[in-house]
A and B are shown apart, each in its own frame.
Chain A
């Protein structure tokens, strides 16, 4: 009788453990250490003054000092402003930035190209300077998959 109970217990355990994957099962296999970024857009833009766009890079939960490379490119949706890819200033403590003029109102994109220790990222953020034009609003409402990216230069 005891043996039977053991068999049922075994079956029960197999069924239970078989039901789902362990939540941290990925740790048993090869893991990546992706770069993470937070792009910081200034709250306000004033005419005739340069504004600094920053990115904070972290990897493994730690700030990334001396990243392998950090480049910024910025363009306006209507194509009237384009700042080609340019190396960022190292502001220390894992913060990198670039200062540019934003003298005309509208919809802008910033794309950061950053790489460190085998991980390369290309996060892209959209932001608004002043107010949006009608055509920019239309563009946003049509969905985000038709970005103008004709000017891209890759390393």
Chain B
């Protein structure tokens, strides 16, 4: 080979490399601008929600704490007290309280509102009620999970989380050092190279440092999401390696008793000649029997009893304490007290265990305070990186356009195209949004020259 072809080859390699760099930058640029606000919301609400246990302990102190004195009264007696106070309420939940100083909780639906009534288990007195809609930490969780906008919000959060992965991948590509000289501007910022370099380093260097943590939070948060999360959980549960059914998705087993064998309430008011067959039948076991089952099978003390929903429903004992290993979901036949399913952490499949750990780590409960602090640092890091990235763009931005890197035809970059398609398949919402971006680009941006200039397409 002679020198000229060599040089030409090198030159074309360089231009391809530069082109690839530019389009990766372009994707990073647009994804960053569009999803920056959502990432800030997620990081801020997440930072607060991390400290839910401590915050609720302070604001609900009067509802939570009781003085141990003598024996606790039975669960049924406590629920009777609640029924006296709320005669028309339907009892939906009962939580006995995990230790001697903790009140018990009775969940009711009264006038179409979900209330939690806190009961002193030693005296049976009510310590007050909380409307579940007024619980500030629940609202923050709703903001974090669905921007307080229901399903649409859930999808936006999922989309932002997925695109954050795209941001991480493209960001790492842009950050990856090309001249292997030294690590300044890679692992630590360059302070003496002028403002422009400093601004770039203030985005890229911290971003690299929090990448692993951010990716971890995204990957452990995604199983919660409505679309990707549910599909993922379904597929994993179907393989036998996930959560057992009903722990996350799927229905609880139903009672073994046939409906016709269940006792009916005779409504024929004044008539004493009620047909025997109507009255005769099985009646639900009492809540005290359910508590006895919980004690017998060794339920984690923080459990909640969820009352049967309708005639075929079951009592469900549910405990999701701070540590994944303590989780338990138990279904009890409401007419016989038989344990129909008993799923502990040990009964989860391998993926189920990993997801469970991911969730408790994500929530910051698995390792207590140190877990919360590490997660908080990651959240603050995300906020810093988003803000510095935004600032970086703002400072570089020309007056009359967005200042996006020049678009290069995607057809020239097979590898990049394949990567995007792969991400689009793995995360359907990313795929869907890519299709929309493509359509907007093809139908609007490419056809109107002013718009085209603005987007540098």
Interface set of A (CB-CB < 8 Å, partner B): 7, 11, 14, 17-22, 25-26, 28-32, 34-37, 39, 41, 107, 109, 119-128, 131-134, 137, 140-141, 143-147, 149, 152, 154
Contact = CB atoms under 8 A, between A and B. Distances in A.
Nearest to A31: B341
A127 B282 CA distance: 9
A20 B245 CA distance: 11
Nearest to A149: B286
A21 B337 contact: no
B279 A19 contact: no
Interface string B260-291: 00010111010011101001111111101100
Interface stretch (B98-106, B134-142, B235-243): B235-243
B272 A131 contact: yes
Contacts of B76: 149
A154 B292 contact: yes
Contacts, number: 136
Contact of B341 (A32, A121, A131): A32
A31 B245 CA distance: 11
Nearest to B280: A127
B340 A126 contact: no
Contact of A17 (B235, B267, B273, B288): B235
Contacts of B231: 18
A141 B265 contact: yes
Interface string B205-241: 0000000000000000000000000010011011110
B272 A143 contact: no
Lowest 7 A-B CB distances belong to which pairs? Answer: A28-B240, A34-B338, A29-B244, A18-B231, A123-B336, A121-B336, A30-B347
A26 B263 contact: no
Interface string B415-427: 0000000000100
Interface stretch (B4-12, B111-119, B248-256): B248-256
Given A30-B244, A141-B266, A141-B267, A119 B339 contact: yes
A141 B245 CA distance: 37
B234 A126 contact: no
A136 to B, nearest CB: 9
B296 interface: yes
Interface string B303-346: 00000000000000000000000000000010111111111000
B234 A124 contact: no
Interface residues of B, number: 51
A154 B425 CA distance: 58
Given A29-B240, A41-B280, A147-B283, 10 more contacts: A25-B250, A28-B349, A29-B347, A32-B342, A37-B336, A123-B282, A126-B263, A128-B274, A132-B272, A141-B266
A20 B234 contact: yes
Contacts of A29: 240, 244-245, 343, 347, 349
Given A26-B245, A28-B240, A140 B279 contact: yes
Contacts of B244: 26, 29-30
A128 B266 contact: no
B234 A21 contact: yes
Nearest to A119: B338
Nearest to A112: B336
Contacts of A36: 256, 336, 338
B116 to A, nearest CB: 19
B265 A140 contact: yes
A126 B283 contact: yes
Contacts of A18: 231, 234-235
Nearest to B330: A32
A19 B234 contact: yes
A12 to B, nearest CB: 12
Best-buried of A17, A30, A34, A109 by chain B (most CB within 10 Å): A34
